[in-house]
A and B are shown apart, each in its own frame.
Chain A
Amino acid sequence: MNEGIGARVLRKEDKRFITGEGRYTDDIVQPNQRYASFVRSPYAHAKIKKINKSAAEGMVGVEAVFDGKQLTGDGIGNIICGWMIHSKDGSPMNMGVWSALATETVRYVGDAVAVVVADTAANAKAAAEAVEVDYEELPSVIKPDAALEKSAPQIHDNAKNNLIFDWEIGEEKATDDAIKGAAHVVELDVTNNRLAPNAIEPRSAIAVYSKAEDHYTLYTTSQNPHVARLVLSAFYQVAPEHKLRVVAPDVGGGFGSKIYIYPEEIVCLWASMKTNCSIKWTAERSESFLTDAHGRDHVSNIKIGFDKNHKIVGLKVDTIANLGAYMSLFSSCVPTYLYATLLSGQYDIANIHCNVRTVYTNTTPVDAYRGAGRPEACYLVERAMETAARQLGTSPAELRRKNFVGSFPHQTPVIMNYDVGDFAANLDAAIKAADYGGFETRRAEAAKVGKLRGIGMSSYIEACGIAPSAAVGSLGAGVGLWESAEVRVNPVGTVEILTGSHSHGQGHETTFAQLVCDRFGLPADNVQVVHGDTDKVQFGMGTYGSRSGAVGMSAIAQALDKVEIKAKKIGAHMLEVKESDIVIEDGEVKVPGSNKVLGWHEVCLNAYTAHNLPEGMEPGLKEGSFYDPANFTFPAGTYICEVEVDPETGHTDIVQFVASDDFGTIVNPMIVEGQVHGGIAQGIGQALLEEVVYDDNGQLLTGSYMDYAMPRADDLPSYQVSHESTPCPSNPLGIKGCGEAGAIGSPPALINAITDAIGNNDLSMPATPAKVWAAIQAAGTKQAAE
Chain B
Amino acid sequence: MTTVSMTVNGKAVSGDVEDRTLLVDFIRVNLGLTGTHVGCDTSQCGACVVHVDGKAIKACTMLAVRAEGSEITTIEGLAKDGELHPMQAAFKENHGLQCGFCTPGMIMAATEFVERYKVSGIELDEAAIRKELEGNICRCTGYHNIVRSIEDAASKM
Residues of A within 8 A of B (CB): 10-11, 13-24, 26-27, 29, 122, 198-202, 250-253, 255, 282, 284-286, 504-507, 670-671, 673-674, 677-682, 704-706, 710-714, 716, 718-719, 742
Interface centre among A11, A122, A673, A678 (most CB of B within 10 A): A678
Question: Given that A19-B76, A710-B137 are contacting pairs, would A11 and B92 also be in contact in the complex, using a CB cutoff of 8 Å?
Answer: yes
Chain A residues with CB under 8 Å of B102's CB are 200, 252
Q: How far is the CA of A13 from the CA of B97 in the complex (A)?
A: 10
Quote the shortest CB–CB distance from B134 to chain A (angstroms). Answer: 6
Q: How far is the CA of A17 from the CA of B146 in the complex (A)?
A: 14
**The stretch of B29-37, B63-71, B117-125 that contacts the partner chain:** B29-37
Q: How far is the CA of A36 from the CA of B127 in the complex (A)?
A: 43
Q: How far is the CA of A200 from the CA of B47 in the complex (A)?
A: 8
Chain A residues with CB under 8 Å of B154's CB are none
Q: Cβ of A253 and Cβ of B99 under 8 Å apart?
A: yes
Q: Cβ of A24 and Cβ of B101 under 8 Å apart?
A: yes
Chain B residues with CB under 8 Å of A16's CB are 100
Chain A residues with CB under 8 Å of B101's CB are 22, 24, 199-201, 252-253
Is B131 located at the chain interface by the 8 A CB criterion?
A: yes
Chain A residues with CB under 8 Å of B104's CB are 17-18, 20
Chain B residues with CB under 8 Å of A29's CB are 32
Chain B residues with CB under 8 Å of A505's CB are 98-100, 140
Quote the shortest CB–CB distance from A639 to chain B (angstroms). Answer: 13
Q: Cβ of A678 and Cβ of B40 under 8 Å apart?
A: no
Q: Cβ of A250 and Cβ of B100 under 8 Å apart?
A: yes
Chain A residues with CB under 8 Å of B42's CB are 285, 704-706
Question: Given that A20-B35, A20-B76, A24-B37 are contacting pairs, would A200 and B130 also be in contact in the complex, using a CB cutoff of 8 Å?
Answer: no
Q: Which of B39, B75, B133, B145 contacts A677 (CB 8 A)?
A: B145
Chain A residues with CB under 8 Å of B92's CB are 10-11, 14-15, 18
Residues B124-147 near A (CB distance < 8 A): 126-127, 129-131, 133-134, 136-147
Question: Given that A27-B34, A713-B129 are contacting pairs, would A677 and B141 also be in contact in the complex, using a CB cutoff of 8 Å?
Answer: yes
Q: How far is the CA of A23 from the CA of B92 in the complex (A)?
A: 18
28 A-B pairs (CB sep. < 8 Å): A14-B92, A17-B100, A18-B91, A19-B76, A20-B74, A22-B101, A29-B32, A122-B20, A200-B140, A201-B37, A201-B99, A201-B101, A253-B99, A253-B101, A253-B140, A285-B42, A285-B45, A670-B95, A674-B144, A677-B142, A678-B98, A704-B42, A705-B44, A712-B134, A713-B130, A713-B136, A714-B127, A714-B130
Q: How far is the CA of A21 from the CA of B36 in the complex (A)?
A: 10
- Chain A's closest residue to B93 (CB) is A10
Question: Given that A199-B99, A201-B99 are contacting pairs, would A19 and B88 also be in contact in the complex, using a CB cutoff of 8 Å?
Answer: yes
Is B81 located at the chain interface by the 8 A CB criterion?
A: no
Q: How far is the CA of A712 from the CA of B39 in the complex (A)?
A: 15
Chain B residues with CB under 8 Å of A20's CB are 33-36, 74-76, 104
Q: Cβ of B137 and Cβ of A705 under 8 Å apart?
A: yes
Is B79 located at the chain interface by the 8 A CB criterion?
A: yes
- Chain B's closest residue to A705 (CB) is B44
Question: Given that A678-B140, A681-B142 are contacting pairs, would A285 and B97 also be in contact in the complex, using a CB cutoff of 8 Å?
Answer: no
Chain A residues with CB under 8 Å of B137's CB are 200, 705, 710, 712
Q: Which of B75, B78, B98, B133 contacts A712 (CB 8 A)?
A: B133
Quote the shortest CB–CB distance from A334 to chain B (angstroms). Answer: 20
Quote the shortest CB–CB distance from A127 to chain B (angstroms). Answer: 15
Extra 19 A-B pairs, beta carbons < 8 Å, given A20-B33, A20-B74, A677-B142: A10-B92, A20-B104, A24-B34, A198-B139, A200-B102, A201-B37, A251-B99, A252-B100, A253-B101, A505-B100, A670-B95, A674-B145, A681-B144, A682-B142, A705-B137, A712-B130, A712-B137, A713-B131, A713-B138
Grouping DSSP codes into helix (H, G, I), strand (E, B) and loop, the B interface class, with mixed when no group exceeds half, is loop
Question: Given that A681-B143, A714-B131 are contacting pairs, would A504 and B99 also be in contact in the complex, using a CB cutoff of 8 Å?
Answer: yes
Chain A residues with CB under 8 Å of B32's CB are 29
Chain A residues with CB under 8 Å of B140's CB are 200, 253, 505, 674, 678
Q: How far is the CA of A711 from the CA of B138 in the complex (A)?
A: 8
Chain B residues with CB under 8 Å of A742's CB are 142
Flag B36-53 by CB within 8 Å of A: 1 or 0 each. 111111101101000000
Q: How far is the CA of A551 from the CA of B15 in the complex (A)?
A: 50
Question: Given that A11-B92, A507-B98 are contacting pairs, would A285 and B40 also be in contact in the complex, using a CB cutoff of 8 Å?
Answer: yes
Q: How far is the CA of A205 from the CA of B16 in the complex (A)?
A: 26
Chain A residues with CB under 8 Å of B130's CB are 712-714, 716
Report, nearest first, the 8 A-B pairs whose CB atoms are least far apart: A20-B35, A252-B101, A17-B100, A681-B142, A505-B99, A705-B44, A505-B98, A20-B75
Chain A residues with CB under 8 Å of B145's CB are 674, 677
Q: How far is the CA of A22 from the CA of B139 in the complex (A)?
A: 17
Question: Given that A18-B97, A202-B39 are contacting pairs, would A705 and B45 also be in contact in the complex, using a CB cutoff of 8 Å?
Answer: yes
Q: Cβ of B133 and Cβ of A713 under 8 Å apart?
A: yes
Q: Cβ of A714 and Cβ of B134 under 8 Å apart?
A: yes
Residues B98-118 near A (CB distance < 8 A): 98-104, 107
Is B84 located at the chain interface by the 8 A CB criterion?
A: yes
Q: How far is the CA of A286 from the CA of B44 in the complex (A)?
A: 12
Q: How far is the CA of A680 from the CA of B143 in the complex (A)?
A: 11
Quote the shortest CB–CB distance from A710 to chain B (angstroms). Answer: 5
Interface centre among A18, A505, A712 (most CB of B within 10 A): A18
- Chain B's closest residue to A287 (CB) is B41
Q: Cβ of B95 and Cβ of A17 under 8 Å apart?
A: no
Q: How far is the CA of A673 from the CA of B32 in the complex (A)?
A: 35
Q: How far is the CA of A10 from the CA of B95 in the complex (A)?
A: 7
Chain A residues with CB under 8 Å of B44's CB are 704-706, 710
- Chain B's closest residue to A14 (CB) is B92
- Chain A's closest residue to B89 (CB) is A18
Q: How far is the CA of A714 from the CA of B129 in the complex (A)?
A: 8
Quote the shortest CB–CB distance from A254 to chain B (angstroms). Answer: 8
Q: How far is the CA of A21 from the CA of B129 in the complex (A)?
A: 26
- Chain A's closest residue to B108 (CB) is A20
Quote the shortest CB–CB distance from A375 to chain B (angstroms). Answer: 16
Chain A residues with CB under 8 Å of B127's CB are 714
- Chain B's closest residue to A199 (CB) is B139
Q: Cβ of A252 and Cβ of B95 under 8 Å apart?
A: no
Chain A residues with CB under 8 Å of B47's CB are 200
